[in-house]
């Protein structure tokens, strides 16, 4: 059985991965519940169009997935990857039915209307640029010939007589009759790459669009050209989709617009506009029943409003790249996340709304750590750019001012008492105390810090290091005092530190899988003297619930473990979520009395109930 995380309260999926100058193909179905499917890295994402917090992930591909398409009945998905394999699997149970090798890299897939045949095309190897096959038996039913360069898109004619059409980097539209499918003719109207080709739902027509800014309409049965639509976009056209009644076509392009065309007249009926920035280029579109959807270069998924073309009905925002840190608002209503593209977002737990923070900020540098101030008014962020930024959580604006450090930040913690105060550790072995977003004092540690935490009363801080030790320092105001106890039970770098809210316990973890619980009245020996080694890989984060009753830990082994008897130093009655995230859990935070948030290698943010 394929691995998939168990159901969580909410699962915020990553966005489609995009690249400037290229379109992507997204797909959906109205069968069962309305769902959208697309690729992110080696994963295929399925999202409920009525609930952005309801998402699933298919993770059986071993390399980047380029396209995924539902079968006509919505029961199956065909997904193609960069190594030329098409996997056909159940949309409900995620079980693989067949794997078919088609070419060097799959770029597009289309099903026949009866759900029995599939065409997959892409980059060729050994002269093979695509394949038409029976999905259940894998038997080939024709040749996709007359090509010497990449096939960028394909479409299967609905209804008999069956036809398939492809477009290629040779700037031609190729038409095939069958089955068995054989080449019939080419059209060379396009003067630059045709990026997408799609049949109308009734099979009467098909249309292509390209980087030459052209939209061309063809007869669906003969393959003959009928007309071009003009005037068109002012930039490359990356994608097109037909309306349910086939009277209109939706197109999108590099000119940052989506256009709705009347097929009969060939004229534009609506132009949907977006921002002027490069990230507002539109790289994909889909007309699915009542849903008119486009994808921006930023990955944002836009739900278009026919009555208000300048403003989408809603936008699904989020992250395309890996998320390395999260933190939560003090009231548990929101999760803040930072990714390797320097993007920071806020996820609202109740509404499932996601909004990116505004401002230049880290300007594309990966986010290392986030921390929310104790009153929830500020969000501190540090990144690979060696800078600390402070964001306003009301306006979601990132400050234009920042503090620069000597060395790359490695850890960050916000004060429990002073909303203007945070502490940052760097790779140069320095610990900075910052007030109002700027340096107040610093201390040379003599080791590289890897994790840090404030005690609940702010009277001390604990700093974990690459030296395999956890060092405790007195703290007052903005001053780091003299060193106190040194916790020396770890066998690898100290990966996380967390004080219980009642101030009685301190937990430290390491890359060697250890979890130690320390009673602060006696730090000479942990309450679990040899540490717990129930995780199978490095422990990435630990946290106590707000009532200080339960300890939670997460790991690169994909697990979250809840320890009900941690204060007693006992590991019995522990419960685990496995897998919480495919590939491993990166970070975790307690949301409230009964829930917590996690983020993983799969780029999902998940909200869980605390169950013991």
| C-alpha closest to that of 133 among 147, 149, 112 | 112
Cis peptide leading into residue 137 (ω within 30°): no
The answer to which of 54-63, 126-135, 323-332, 488-497 has the lowest mean pLDDT is 126-135
Separation CA 554–CA 587 (nearest Å) = 7
The answer to whether residues 138 and 118 touch, using CB atoms and an 8 Å cutoff, is no
In a domain, 298, yes or no: yes
- What is residue 1's predicted lDDT score, i.e. its pLDDT? 58
Q: What is the pTM of this model?
A: 0.95
| Domain final residue pick, 287, 316, 345 | 316
In a domain, 453, yes or no: no
Coil, helix or strand at residue 475: strand
Mean of pLDDT over the chain: 96
Given a cut of 90, is residue 182 above it in pLDDT? yes
The answer to whether residues 76 and 118 touch, using CB atoms and an 8 Å cutoff, is no
In a domain, 249, yes or no: yes
In a domain, 80, yes or no: yes
Given a cut of 90, is residue 12 above it in pLDDT? yes
What is the CATH number for 604?
2.130.10.10
Given a cut of 70, is residue 384 above it in pLDDT? yes
| H helix and E strand count, the chain | 0, 55
- What is residue 592's predicted lDDT score, i.e. its pLDDT? 86
Count of the separate structural domains present in the chain = 2
Cis peptide leading into residue 547 (ω within 30°): no
In a domain, 365, yes or no: no
Q: pLDDT of 581-603, one tens digit each?
A: 999 999 999 998 899 999 999 99
- What is residue 3's predicted lDDT score, i.e. its pLDDT? 72
Q: pLDDT of 149-165, one tens digit each?
A: 999 999 999 999 999 99
| Domain final residue pick, 292, 316, 340 | 316
Confidence grade of residue 2 (pLDDT, cut at 50, 70, 90): low
Separation CA 390–CA 379 (nearest Å) = 6
In a domain, 146, yes or no: yes
- What is residue 146's predicted lDDT score, i.e. its pLDDT? 84
- What is residue 587's predicted lDDT score, i.e. its pLDDT? 99
Average pLDDT over residues 425-439: 98
Q: How many CB atoms lie within 10 A of CB 519?
A: 15
Three-state SS letters, 395-461: CCEECCCCEECCCCEEEEEECCCCCCEEEEEECCCEEEEEECCEEEEEEECCCCEEEEEECCCCCEE
In a domain, 446, yes or no: no
Domain containing residue 552: 491-612
Given a cut of 90, is residue 4 above it in pLDDT? no
10-12, strands of its sheet edge to edge? 10-12, 605-609, 595-600, 585-590
Q: What percent of the chain has pLDDT over 70?
A: 99
Separation CA 91–CA 57 (nearest Å) = 10
Q: How many CB atoms lie within 10 A of CB 224?
A: 11
CA gyration radius for the chain? 27
Q: How many CB atoms lie within 10 A of CB 416?
A: 18
Enter the tokens of residue 569.
Answer: 């130093």
In a domain, 458, yes or no: no
| Domain final residue pick, 316, 347, 362 | 316
The answer to whether residues 335 and 326 touch, using CB atoms and an 8 Å cutoff, is yes
Separation CA 135–CA 267 (nearest Å) = 38
Coil, helix or strand at residue 473: strand
Average pLDDT over residues 493-514: 99
Average pLDDT over residues 265-276: 96
């Amino acid at each position: 059985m394929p691995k998939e995380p168990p159901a969580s309260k909410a699962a915020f999926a990553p966005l489609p991965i995009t690249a400037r100058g290229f379109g992507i193909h997204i797909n959906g179905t109205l069968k069962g519940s309305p769902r959208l499917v697309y690729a992110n890295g080696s994963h295929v994402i399925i999202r409920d169009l009525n609930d952005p917090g309801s998402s699933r992930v298919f993770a059986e591909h071993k390399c980047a997935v380029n396209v995924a398409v539902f079968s006509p009945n919505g029961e199956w998905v065909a997904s193609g990857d960069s190594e030329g394999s098409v996997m056909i699997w159940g949309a409900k149970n995620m079980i693989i039915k067949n794997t078919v090798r088609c070419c060097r890299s799959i770029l597009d897939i289309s099903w026949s209307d009866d759900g029995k045949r599939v065409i997959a095309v892409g980059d060729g190897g050994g002269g093979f640029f695509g394949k038409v096959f029976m999905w259940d038996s894998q038997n080939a039913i024709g040749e996709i010939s007359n090509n010497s360069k990449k096939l960028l898109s394909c479409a299967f004619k609905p209804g008999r007589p069956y036809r398939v059409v492809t477009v290629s980097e040779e700037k031609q539209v190729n038409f095939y009759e069958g089955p068995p499918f054989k080449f019939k003719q080419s059209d060379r109207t396009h003067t630059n790459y045709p990026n997408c080709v799609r049949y109308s739902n009734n099979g009467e027509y098909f249309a292509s669009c390209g980087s030459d800014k052209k939209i061309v309409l063809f007869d669906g049965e003969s393959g003959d050209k009928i007309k071009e639509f003009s005037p068109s976009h002012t930039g490359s056209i990356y994608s097109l989709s037909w309306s349910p009644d086939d009277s209109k076509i939706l197109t999108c392009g590099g000119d940052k617009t989506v256009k709705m065309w009347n097929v009969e007249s060939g004229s534009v009926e609506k132009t949907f506009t977006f921002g002027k920035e490069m990230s507002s280029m539109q790289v994909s579109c889909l007309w699915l029943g009542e849903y008119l959807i486009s994808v921006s270069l930023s990955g944002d998924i836009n739900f278009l409003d026919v009555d208000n073309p300048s403003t989408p009905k809603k936008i699904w925002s989020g992250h395309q790249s890996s998320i390395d840190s999260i933190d939560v608002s003090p009231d548990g209503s929101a999760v803040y996340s930072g990714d390797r593209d320097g993007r920071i977002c806020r996820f609202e737990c109740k509404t499932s709304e996601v909004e990116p923070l505004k401002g230049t900020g880290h300007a594309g540098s990966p986010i290392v750590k986030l921390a929310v101030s104790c009153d929830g008014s500020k969000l501190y962020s540090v990144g690979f750019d060696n800078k600390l930024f402070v964001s306003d959580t009301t306006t979601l604006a990132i400050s234009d001012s920042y503090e620069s450090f000597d060395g790359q930040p490695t850890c960050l913690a916000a004060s429990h008492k002073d909303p203007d105060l945070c502490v940052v550790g760097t790779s140069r072995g320095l610990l900075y105390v910052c007030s109002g977003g700027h340096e107040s004092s610093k201390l040379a540690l003599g080791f590289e810090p890897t994790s840090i935490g404030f005690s609940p009363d702010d009277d001390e801080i604990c700093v974990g290091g690459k030296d395999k030790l956890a060092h405790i320092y007195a703290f007052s105001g903005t001053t780091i005092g003299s060193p106190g106890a040194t916790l020396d039970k770890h066998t690898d770098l100290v990966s996380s530190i967390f004080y219980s809210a009642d101030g009685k316990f301190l937990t430290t973890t390491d890359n060697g899988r250890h979890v130690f619980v320390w009673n602060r009245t006696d730090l000479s020996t942990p309450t679990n003297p040899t540490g717990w080694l129930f995780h199978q890989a490095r422990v990435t984060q630990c946290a106590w619930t707000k009532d200080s009753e339960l300890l939670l830990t997460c790991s690169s082994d994909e697990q979250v473990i809840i320890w009900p008897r941690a204060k007693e130093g006992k590991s019995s009655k522990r419960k685990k979520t496995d897998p919480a995230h495919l590939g491993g859990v990166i970070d975790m935070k307690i949301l409230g009395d009964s829930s917590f948030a996690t983020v993983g290698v799969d780029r999902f943010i998940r909200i869980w109930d605390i169950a013991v």
